[in-house]
Structure 1
């Protein structure tokens, strides 16, 4: 189905299939599977069975399903699977705003809306581009490994900032943040890369968070506590401001 056009008029052909495993996770799956077989060979069943279940868990963690990405210039899609845990008015990180000496401009200074998406170990951890455009910055920052659900994780945890600029000049910054269990942010892109909306940009191993900084004058189309899907869920529509309310039930 990858690359096929699908629409709301029934165009396209789809069928269910097992999601593929991203190459980044195959080596971990092979290691745990080999250990499981080795312990089973020596009849250490109390160790072999947990390792077998761990193998399944590792493969499930690194699953990389195809996504049907909305194709509209006005939409900002979610870069991550997970739970919308915070929606706040904040100043963008300095790494996305200050002159970094590269000759490329950063985000304008001033308050913007930040949407924080918390990814549990059960979520797909492949992150995707919220808009199409050129990667202007990829900035890695070392840090702590606190609970990614905490507000201060945006400033204190290990993180990686990515800045994408559309052909019309609009820019979106987002941040991959390592969590309590996560210990590695794996980038798939570098400055100068041209991305399509929804294209894979990286992953974070074993539980984490992604922050998205919306352009000024744009409000979220998602609610606090909502489950979102990377590459498919619309986070916002550029230039649209409207209060949306929901009831947990």
Structure 2
């Protein structure tokens, strides 16, 4: 397991603040139970922050016509809906909710050319809100190739996550499962596929980014 590069500043700031907190506690409070409680809480909190930015080693799943999960989390939506930003019509939407405990690296579900990479400012509704896909802070990416057609992936900020990082630019050729970006502290990723695409996951199923097959294109 490694630590993602996006985590270095946050981990360093957290460490400095916790050291200052414990130093102040040691200076103003006689050593005793209070100091030990503060130290234990600090260690637990620091461990949580470090684990949030973890990147576990994984054997990735590949396949030209397979759509691989772009994120870890729970499948909260599988339905046909309107996608107005790029397709302007009906698409099959699969949404993955990421809790703060999940790995937060986002990966390319297919290989191909980046057709669109666009950031939108927005609200911070809870990630499972029906309107979060169109009203929250978000970043939309479209990747396409001759075997799969165009697949849209949308990173969505939630009530806690307020920083979306995306590494893709239009015209880039990207590999399946390579890093697409990162969302800090819990959120959601939507994938939009052609209507009628056979889905390989179920609602409330836990998926792993880079490993779980969401769907297989005809």
Which consecutive residues of structure 1, in runs of 5 or more, have no partner in the other structure?
Answer: 1-18, 98-108, 240-249
Q: Matches of 1:166 and 1:53 in 2, distance apart?
A: 45
1:90 to 76, 81, 87: 81
TM-score (norm 1): 0.79
Residues 195-232 of structure 1 deviation map (CA, whole Å, 9 limit, x = unaligned): 11111100111110000001233121100110000010
Structure-2 residue corresponding to 1:138: 117
Q: Which has the higher contact order (CA 8 A, sep 6+)?
A: 2
Structure-2 residue corresponding to 1:101: none
TM-score (norm 2): 0.90
- Alpha-carbon distance, 1:167 to partner: 4.4
Are the aligned partners of 1:69 and 1:197 in contact in 2 as well (CA < 8 Å)?
no
Comparing both structures, which one devotes a greater share of its residues to helix? Answer: 2
Structure-2 residue corresponding to 1:38: 20
Are the aligned partners of 2:65 and 2:147 in contact in 1 as well (CA < 8 Å)?
no
Are the aligned partners of 1:83 and 1:226 in contact in 2 as well (CA < 8 Å)?
yes
1:61 to 52, 55, 59: 52
Are the aligned partners of 1:148 and 1:209 in contact in 2 as well (CA < 8 Å)?
yes
Q: Matches of 1:29 and 1:93 in 2, distance apart?
A: 38
| Number of residue pairs the alignment of both structures matches | 209
Q: Matches of 1:20 and 1:80 in 2, distance apart?
A: 17
Q: Matches of 2:84 and 2:160 in 1, distance apart?
A: 23
Q: Matches of 1:21 and 1:213 in 2, distance apart?
A: 30
- Alpha-carbon distance, 1:237 to partner: 0.5
Structure-2 residue corresponding to 1:118: 97
Q: Matches of 1:32 and 1:70 in 2, distance apart?
A: 35
